[in-house]
Amino acid sequence: MTSTFLQRVLIIILGLNIFQALGAQEYKYEIGGMAGGNLYMGDANKTSLFKGINPAFGAVFRYNANFRLAFKADLMWAGVSGTTAGLKNVFPFEEEISFSRNIMEFGGHVEFNFLPYSDKYGYLNTQRITPYLLTGLGVTLAPGGDETFLSVHIPLGVGVKYKVKNRVNLGCEFAFRKLFKDNLEGKAALEDPYEIKSSAWKNKDWYTSLMFFITWDFGPRNRPCNNAESIAF
């Protein structure tokens, strides 16, 4: 048995150990709450990103596949509001229109951490804080108004998460929601007011959320046996 063969075996074993560690977060799941602000962008607000901020609250559940990849589900309640008063663009109607309504969202997100995220496994260069990107798919429901609004949405966003201590995570997330229908406002006059027919990707409403969250880790991957000596074979 040559030394070259032994070196190759050691390299393979080391590589397998690193692979297992990368795919084995200490805890599989997170659950928690979030709160922040929600912002509307549509026919009554085309350019002002932070105009008319409304409160938003929700719950979040996350599955950590490994240090870099996580899958998240959220359930959010938020407000949207706006007005045509003071806008420079000219509408085909003379009266000013204002609206205010609540929306509910259920979303599924994929998150990619820029840094391997954990407060342990320092030999793998893990970090307690990391920025991340997210995308996914969700559904938005807004009851009331002239008609109930229901649309699929695609979220696109960025965030940062910080592990304060074992099992406790804090974070902040900023994400756009691209809707595939018009009239999130719930006002018939603002549903395609210029009668410009277009695809589902153009001239539709958006909303944006800035959320702060806190989550608790649970579901250890490798639970130690505390009664190993008394096991009967």
Q: Is residue 143 part of a domain?
A: yes
Q: 230 in a domain, yes or no?
A: no
Q: Determine the Cα–Cα distance for residues 72 and 232; give it in Å rounded to an integer.
A: 41
| pLDDT above 90 for 212 | yes
* Residue 7 located in a structural domain: no
Of the two residues 129 and 231, the one the predictor is more confident about is: 129
Question: Does the residue 115 lie in any domain?
Answer: yes
For residue 94, being part of any structural domain is answered with: yes
Strand, coil or helix: 139? strand
Measuring CA to CA, which residue among 168, 34, 187, 16 is closest to residue 97? 187
Range of the domain at 102: 25-220
- Structural tokens at position 69: 């990849």
Number of domains in the chain: 1
- Residue 1, in any domain of the structure: no
13 has pLDDT over 50:
no
pTM of the model: 0.77
CATH code, domain with 86: 2.40.160.20
| pLDDT tens, position by position, 65-92 | 999 999 999 999 999 887 766 555 555 5
- Residue 43 is assigned to a structural domain of this protein: yes
Q: pLDDT value at position 138?
A: 96
CA angle 113, 39, 109 (to 5 degrees): 30
Token pair for 93: 């109607």
In this structure, is residue 6 part of a structural domain? no
Q: Is 133's pLDDT higher than 70?
A: yes
